[in-house]
């Protein structure tokens, strides 16, 4: 039987970039003590108190279908949190609850971009951006950024890739995975100006908003004239260590949210009711719980920079947010992929090759700071030794 092109060509003939993660998992299953710095999820797991709220909700009967757009009280809580943090008036009608940020991203692209139209996105990029765009029949257009410029996109580079009415949507992510870049006020002002001038939708992926170590998080939906053309993608995966619970949301104009709710009716059919109750409980704890969950990543960011800075063949790039640090390994003469493969084979340390995040990150590796501090320190010392031996 013939399989539809749509699902056959998601990675455009390349890989999904997760080879190292898969190999590391297999090595671990075979009994090797691999230090896994590939995947971005908190090593602590979901806080017990959130699980307790989930358990209680499930036992008290919250096991049936939920309203498709999300529990009204959860949508209210998300709206209030957004309004508090951004100053933008936000009500439940501006919020659609989804099973995780990835489903929010899918919905946002589906709502903004017809098949054949272009979605511009910034490289290096979260691994799934181009394939999610392709899965909807749209065309991914990557815009490179420069490590020397802190991986901040420039107006010149973005406008150079705009192709008239074919270009519908610009997708950005700050704080950024994989680079840790936190976009400056100036960068956001330029992005907003471009979106208004070229009548583009802006999708702002803010799943790392609670992890900012230097600078400040800006949500472009709050910039002048941007609310009618901006969809914010967010989730509790990183902010509340709830990756497995699959709880995210889209914030945007109410008319769009109504349509995306119809879309959910035909895709996800909503989010597990007891998970939504746990999410509501988690949000009711306010910013102190979020700060507690973010703290280890900030601490490890400083630790990693301390160990790696000054290495003769590794250059640690400034990472102002998120749970990652990027290393420029070009001095070793290896590609990011070869470096990562060798490091796994010789030192049983798994990292992501920069190439997984697009051509702009070639010759780099990304470290997820998702193992406990002593183990991270051990991995970084061994990584430094490995790079020194390569250079020798």
Question: Using CB under 6 A as the criterion, which residues of the chain lie in contact with ligand PLP when the complex forms?
Answer: 40, 100-102, 105, 126, 173, 177, 205, 207, 235, 237, 243, 248
- SS3 (DSSP) at 70: coil
Q: Which residues contact 252 (CB under 8 A, 6 or more apart)?
A: 94, 108, 111, 221, 230, 231, 232, 260
CB of 235 to ligand PLP, least distance (A): 3
Per the CB < 8 A criterion, the answer to whether 254 and 288 are in contact is no
Instruction: CB nearer to ligand PLP: give 125 or 332.
Output: 125
Instruction: CB nearer to ligand PLP: give 66 or 334.
Output: 66
Instruction: CB nearer to ligand PLP: give 283 or 314.
Output: 283
Instruction: CB nearer to ligand PLP: give 232 or 344.
Output: 232
Structure tokens at 99: 């099973």
CB of 176 to ligand PLP, least distance (A): 7
CB of 313 to ligand PLP, least distance (A): 28
Could you tell me which of 214, 210, 200 has the C-alpha nearest to residue 159?
200
Structure tokens at 296: 């280890």
CB of 2 to ligand PLP, least distance (A): 31
Instruction: CB nearer to ligand PLP: give 207 or 390.
Output: 207
CA distance 208 to 237: 9
Instruction: CB nearer to ligand PLP: give 101 or 270.
Output: 101
Instruction: CB nearer to ligand PLP: give 248 or 336.
Output: 248
Instruction: CB nearer to ligand PLP: give 252 or 332.
Output: 252
CA distance 348 to 216: 36
CB of 30 to ligand PLP, least distance (A): 26
CB of 278 to ligand PLP, least distance (A): 15
Instruction: CB nearer to ligand PLP: give 151 or 386.
Output: 151
CB of 324 to ligand PLP, least distance (A): 9
CB of 98 to ligand PLP, least distance (A): 9
CB of 323 to ligand PLP, least distance (A): 9
CB of 79 to ligand PLP, least distance (A): 19
DSSP output for 78-142: HHHHHHHHH-----GGGEEEESHHHHHHHHHHHHH--TT-EEEEESS--TTHHHHHHHTT-EEEE
Instruction: CB nearer to ligand PLP: give 40 or 111.
Output: 40
Structure tokens at 340: 């990562």
Instruction: CB nearer to ligand PLP: give 40 or 252.
Output: 40
CB of 357 to ligand PLP, least distance (A): 10
Could you tell me which of 291, 283, 286, 293 has the C-alpha nearest to residue 75?
283
Relative to beta strand 118-122, strand 167-173 is parallel
Per the CB < 8 A criterion, the answer to whether 333 and 363 are in contact is no
DSSP output for 311-353: -SS-EEPP--BTTEEEEE-GGGT--HHHHHHHHHHHH-EE-EE
Q: Which residues contact 235 (CB under 8 A, 6 or more apart)?
A: 100, 101, 104, 207, 242, 247, 248, 249
Q: What does the buried/exposed string (b/e) look like for 354-374 if buried means 16 or more CB atoms within 10 Å of the residue's CB?
A: bbbbbebbebbbbbbbbbeee
Q: 64: part of which helix (H) or strand (E)?
A: none
DSSP-H helix ranges across 267-286: 273-284
CA 197 to mean position of chain CA atoms: 27
């Amino acid at each position: 039987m013939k399989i539809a092109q749509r699902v056959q060509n998601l990675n455009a003939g390349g890989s999904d970039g997760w080879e190292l993660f898969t190999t590391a998992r297999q090595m671990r299953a075979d009994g090797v003590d691999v230090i896994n710095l590939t995947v971005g999820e908190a090593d602590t797991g979901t806080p017990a108190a959130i699980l307790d709220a989930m358990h209680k909700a499930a036992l008290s009967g919250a096991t049936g279908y939920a309203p498709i757009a999300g529990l009204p009280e959860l949508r209210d809580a998300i709206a209030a949190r957004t309004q508090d943090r951004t100053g933008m008036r936000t009500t439940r009608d501006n919020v659609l609850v989804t099973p995780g940020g990835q489903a929010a991203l899918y919905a946002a692209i589906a709502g903004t971009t017809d098949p054949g139209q272009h979605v511009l996105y910034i490289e290096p990029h979260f691994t799934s951006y181009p394939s999610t765009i392709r899965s909807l029949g749209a065309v991914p257009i990557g815009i490179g950024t420069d490590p020397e410029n802190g991986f901040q996109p420039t107006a010149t580079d973005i406008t150079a890739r705009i192709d008239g009415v074919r270009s519908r949507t610009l997708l950005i992510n700050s704080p950024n995975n994989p680079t840790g870049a936190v976009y400056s006020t100036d960068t956001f002002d330029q992005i907003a100006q471009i979106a208004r001038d070229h009548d583009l939708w802006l999708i702002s992926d803010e799943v790392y908003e609670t992890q900012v170590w230097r600078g400040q998080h800006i949500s472009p939906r709050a910039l002048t004239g941007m609310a009618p053309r901006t969809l914010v993608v967010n989730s509790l995966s990183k902010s509340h260590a709830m990756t497995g619970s699959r709880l995210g949301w889209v914030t945007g104009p109410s008319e769009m949210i109504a349509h995306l709710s119809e879309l959910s009716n035909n895709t996800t059919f909503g989010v597990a009711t007891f998970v939504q109750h746990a999410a509501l409980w988690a949000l009711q704890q306010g910013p102190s719980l979020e700060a507690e969950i973010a703290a280890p990543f900030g601490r490890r960011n400083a630790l990693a920079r301390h160990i790696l800075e000054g290495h003769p063949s590794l250059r640690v790039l400034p990472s102002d947010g998120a749970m990652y640090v990027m290393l420029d390994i070009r001095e070793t003469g290896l590609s990011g992929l070869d470096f990562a493969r060798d490091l796994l084979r010789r030192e049983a340390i798994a990292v992501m090759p920069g190439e997984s995040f697009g051509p702009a990150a070639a010759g780099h590796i990304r470290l997820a700071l998702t193992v406990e501090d002593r183990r991270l320190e051990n991995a970084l010392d061994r990584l430094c030794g490995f790079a020194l031996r390569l250079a020798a």
